Amino acid sequence: MELQTKVPLSHLNFQIDYNAQILLLGSCFSDHIGALFSKHQFNTISNPFGIIFHPIPLASLIQRIVHKNYFTEDAFFFHQEQWHSYELHSSMGRTNLSEALRNANEILDLTHNFLNKASHVFITLGTAWGYRLNNTIVTNCHKQSASLFHKELASISLIENALEQIQAAMMYLNPDLKVVYTVSPVRHLKDGFTENSIGKAHLLAGIHAQKEKAKDSKSVSYFPSYEIVMDELRDYRFYKMDLIHPNELAIAYIWESLVAVTFKAATKILLKEVVSIQNGLDHRPFNPTAEAHKKFLQTLGRRMAKIKRQYPHMFP
């Protein structure tokens, strides 16, 4: 008896190994997957400017990164004792304007340099509902009055156009880049139940259109994280207490699905060794000074050194 509707998974157009340099951008789900890449010793950066749910401000930020269009003071405003930018997440806020500006531009440089050498970019879109201020969809409202903004749904064509801008900008900087799009399985129920479904549908349709345009180059793939949660994991035991965000079990399940279709065979073997070493490092001994534990650590050190000879970025 089948108790799940399994989402058919196909291998992506391109595979990932431990030589990969991976940038993850978009919703909070990018942070969860990025944390797992990092935990398993991949060379990654996840959401360096903070979470961005909407494809239009994400496209603007990526173009700024690619062309090194540095932030200036007029990009910031003072609110609740911090300097913020409508282009950035609230975590980028600082109490001092010069510090906010310096921090944003340092991260811009870091991200530009990383993207220039990246092999893969994962982009997770969260919602098609956005808030417009002065003809611009903002990244974050920074807890300001809703009366300042106009809430609107981005059309499929606008989303498709934003993804085209993302693709063109990144390929301009790094023509060999491989892009993986996903849609966040986190439901934006504050927009409304029906509105959330409409927003996700617009994102999926926009990604599908962009993927079709790029199918000859095989530089764009789609991973169905949204579909896995909605169909395979349609049970509240896979959610946190808010009943909206996938819990650790769900994220681990999605990670295993991602590994299955994106990792090379040799990478999967090495991944098992990395997990074994990581478990050893996480072990808390009853007696840290015992000879047996010292020998155990020495063995772990030799195993890590063997891997580092081939992949210097691992186990820093």
Residue 39, pLDDT score? 95
Longest Cα–Cα distance of the chain, Å, equals: 67
Q: What are 171-221's pLDDT values in tens digits?
A: 999 999 999 999 999 999 999 999 999 999 999 999 999 988 887 778 899
Q: What are 239-284's pLDDT values in tens digits?
A: 999 999 999 999 999 999 999 999 999 999 999 999 999 999 888 8
Residue 152, pLDDT score? 97
Distance CA 78, CA 50 (A): 19
Residue 160, pLDDT score? 96
Q: Is 309 among the domain residues? A: no
In sign, the C-alpha dihedral spanning 213, 216, 219, 225 is positive
Q: Is 34 among the domain residues? A: yes
Whether 4 shows a pLDDT value over 90: the answer reads: no
Is-contact 53 81, C-beta < 8 A?
A: no
Q: Is 75 among the domain residues? A: yes
**Domain tally for the chain?**
1
Q: Is 71 among the domain residues? A: yes
Q: Is 86 among the domain residues? A: yes
Mean pLDDT to the nearest integer, 230-237: 94
CATH number for the domain harbouring residue 195:
3.40.50.1110
Q: Is 3 among the domain residues? A: no
| Residue 86, φ and ψ in degrees, nearest 5 | -70, -10
Instruction: Report the Cα 122 to chain-centroid distance in Å.
Output: 6
Helix (H, G, I), strand (E, B) or coil at 26: strand
Q: Is 298 among the domain residues? A: no
Residue 220, pLDDT score? 92
Distance CA 58, CA 88 (A): 10
Q: Is 104 among the domain residues? A: yes
Domain that holds residue 242: 21-265
| Residue 21, φ and ψ in degrees, nearest 5 | -120, 115
Q: What are 144-169's pLDDT values in tens digits?
A: 999 999 999 999 999 999 999 999 99
Q: What are 302-315's pLDDT values in tens digits?
A: 999 999 999 999 99
